[in-house]
């Protein structure tokens, strides 16, 4: 391969990678659920965990709630036996906003990971 062809292909790859990352993230499909705030209590309907896909009703594993008055979103995971667990999506290390992926919370700033209950799986968070 000639140097000119290599540089041209590298340019195409550099253009395609950010676009493919965008499409992969949108496939993950964070769902921002509706909720009601009453006297300091946030209420969310169980139906927010249901969706119709391919004509079938399936259950979401988690939803996210957020409003303009909240500094950080809240992630809500379904647990066994129709239970739920909620965690503020703020890293305990440096306060960065957490992402959700693969059933865990992860920090884009320093790589900390937390389980669905908010327990540290990987530091530097403690």
Residue 29 has what pLDDT?
72
Q: pTM value?
A: 0.68
Q: What's the chain's average pLDDT?
A: 78
Residue 27 has what pLDDT?
41
Residue 6 has what pLDDT?
55
Residue 33 has what pLDDT?
86
Tokens 């906003």 locate to 97
Tokens 């884009």 locate to 108
- CB proximity list for 41: less than 8 A, separation 6 or greater: none
**More confident position, 3 or 13:** 3
6 plus 60 within the same structural domain: no
3-class DSSP state of 39: coil
2 plus 21 within the same structural domain: yes
Q: Residue 19 pLDDT more than 50?
A: no
Give the helix ranges, DSSP H, for the chain: 3-28
40 plus 96 within the same structural domain: yes
8 plus 58 within the same structural domain: no
How many domains would you assign to the chain? 2
For residue 17, the enclosing domain spans 1-29
* CA distance linking residue 46 with residue 55, whole number of Å: 20
**Shortest CA distance to 78 belongs to which of 62, 64, 89?**
62
- What's the full length of the chain, in residues? 126
- Domain containing 92 — which CATH number? 2.102.10
* CA distance linking residue 95 with residue 126, whole number of Å: 12
18 plus 46 within the same structural domain: no
14 plus 36 within the same structural domain: no
59 plus 41 within the same structural domain: yes
112 plus 65 within the same structural domain: yes
Pairing between strand 84-88 and 74-78?
A: antiparallel
Q: What is the pLDDT of residues 39-90, one digit of tens each?
A: 888 888 888 888 888 889 888 888 998 888 888 999 988 888 878 988 988 8
7 plus 46 within the same structural domain: no
Residue 58 has what pLDDT?
86
């Amino acid at each position: 391969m000639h140097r000119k062809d290599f540089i041209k292909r590298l340019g195409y790859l550099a253009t395609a990678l950010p676009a493919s990352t965008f499409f992969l993230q949108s496939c993950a499909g964070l769902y921002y659920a509706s909720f009601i705030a009453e006297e300091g209590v946030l209420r969310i309907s169980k139906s927010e965990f249901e969706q119709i896909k391919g004509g079938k009703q399936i259950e979401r594993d988690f939803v996210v709630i957020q409003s303009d008055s909240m500094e950080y979103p809240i992630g809500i995971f379904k647990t066994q036996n129709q239970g739920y667990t909620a965690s503020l999506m703020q890293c305990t290390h440096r306060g960065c906003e957490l992402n959700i992926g693969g059933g865990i919370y992860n920090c884009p700033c320093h790589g900390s990971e937390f389980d669905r209950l908010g327990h540290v799986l990987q530091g530097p968070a403690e």
